Amino acid sequence: MPSQSSSSSSANGLISPIRPVRITRGKSESVMVNEGCFVNLWNHLGGSVTLTETRRFYDIKANAYDEEMTELNYKGPKVIFEKFRELRISRGSRILDVGCGTGLLGVELKAAGFCQIHGIDMSSEMLRINRKKGSYLSLGLTMVEPDTDLTSLRDFDVVCLLSSLRPGHISPACLENLSTCLTSGGYLIWARSSDIPSGHFTDSFDEDTWSEVKGKLSTLGILCLEESFIELFVRDKPGMIGVLRKM
Ligand SMILES: C[S@@+](CC[C@H](N)C(=O)[O-])C[C@H]1O[C@@H](n2cnc3c(N)ncnc32)[C@H](O)[C@@H]1O
C-alpha cells in the first residue's frame, strides 16, 4: 500500500491526487478506502460508520485535504459566503463553524472581512492544519453529539455546518443542542453535497426523522427558512443548503 502522503497511480498511469487510506475496525478487519471520498469508507465498512472511524479518516486525510478539495473544485466556502451576503450578515458577527476541519470556510470569511470566527472539530489533525492559517479566534477539539456539553459556546450570530451535517458526521439530532449556541435572531446554516448516495440517509437522516427534527425545532422557536439546491458544490455536482433561524 502506498504511504499516506504519496499519490496513487490510476489505470491510465496518471498520478491521482486521491490517496489510499487504511481504516481498521476491531482487530481483524482492515479496509482500503480512497481518501478523497468518504462515501468509499462508508461502503467499505458495510453501510455504517462510527464517529471514531470518521475521526480516524479525517486524522489521516488532514494533510492532503486542502489539495484534494481544490482538485475536486469544492465550492462549499463560497456557497456559505454567498448566503452570508444574501442574509446581510454583518462583518462583526460572531460565527461558530461546526466541523470546521482545516478551516477553508474561515479563510474565505476572514478574507471577506469577518473577524469573529470560532471553530470546533473532533479531528485534532484537521485542527492542526487549520491553526496554521490563523483565521479563527478559537478552535476547540469537540465531538458533537446530541448530548455534548456546549455551554461554553454561547451567543453566536451564525452557526455553520459546512459538509459536516451528513451521515457518519453530525446528525440532525444534534441541531437542538447546537441551537443553544445561537443568540436570538441568529442563523444556523448548513450545506452539503447532494452527491451522497440516498441509501446513506438512514436512521437519524431519513426523511421522516428530518421532518420530526424540524418540527421539534419549530416548537422551540427555531424555524426552517430555506432548504434548496445549489447548482455547483463539489466535483462539479450540485449540493444542498438549509437555513434555520432562532426567533
Ligand atoms: C467533510 S469535512 C468538512 C470540513 C470543513 N467544514 C470544510 O468544508 O472543508 C467534515 C469535518 O467534520 C468533522 N466532524 C465530523 N463529524 C463530527 C462530529 N460529530 N463532531 C465534530 N466534528 C465532526 C470532521 O472531523 C471533518 O473535519
Choosing from 58, 142, 241 the residue with most ligand 1 atoms within 8 A of its CB, the one to mutate for a pocket test is 58
Q: Say if ligand 1 is within 6 A of residue 169 CB.
A: yes
* Mean pLDDT value across residues 174-185: 98
Choose the residue to mutate in 70, 109, 122, 235 for probing ligand 1, maximizing ligand atoms within 8 Å of C-beta: 122
Whose CA is closest to atom 15 on ligand 1?
A: 169
pLDDT tens digits for range 110-168: 999 999 999 999 999 999 999 999 999 999 999 999 999 999 999 999 999 999 999 99
pLDDT digits (tens, 9 = 90+) for 12-64: 333 334 455 566 665 444 455 554 578 777 777 777 788 998 998 899 889 98
Question: Is 164 close to ligand 1, i.e. is its CB under 6 Å away?
Answer: yes
CB-ligand 1 contact for 76 (6 Å cutoff): yes
Burial class (CB in 10 A: 0-12, 13-18, 19+), 8: middle
- Torsion sign across C-alpha atoms 37, 230, 75, 122: negative
> Does the predicted TM-score (pTM) go above 0.85?
yes
Q: How far apart are CA 34 and CA 155, in angstroms?
A: 39
Task: Please state, in angstroms and rounded to a whole number, the distance separating the CA atoms of residues 108 and 115.
Answer: 11
Q: Give pLDDT, residue 195.
A: 83
Q: What mean pLDDT, rounded, does the chain reach?
A: 87
How many A from CA of 193 to the centre of ligand 1?
13
Question: What pLDDT was estimated at residue 36?
Answer: 52
pLDDT value for 29: 45
- How large is the average pLDDT for residues 94-114? 98
Parse the chain into domains and list their residue ranges: 8-71, 76-246
CATH architecture of 76-246: 3-Layer(aba) Sandwich (3.40)
| Separation of CA 148 and ligand 1 centre (Å) | 15
Distance from residue 11's CA to the centre of ligand 1 (Å): 31
User: What DSSP character marks residue 73?
Assistant: T
The CA 100 to ligand 1 mean position distance, Å, reads 6
Residue 13 alpha carbon to ligand 1 centre in Å: 32
- Residue 168: name the closest of 145, 139, 195, 142 by CA: 145
Ligand 1 mean position, distance from CA 38 (Å): 11
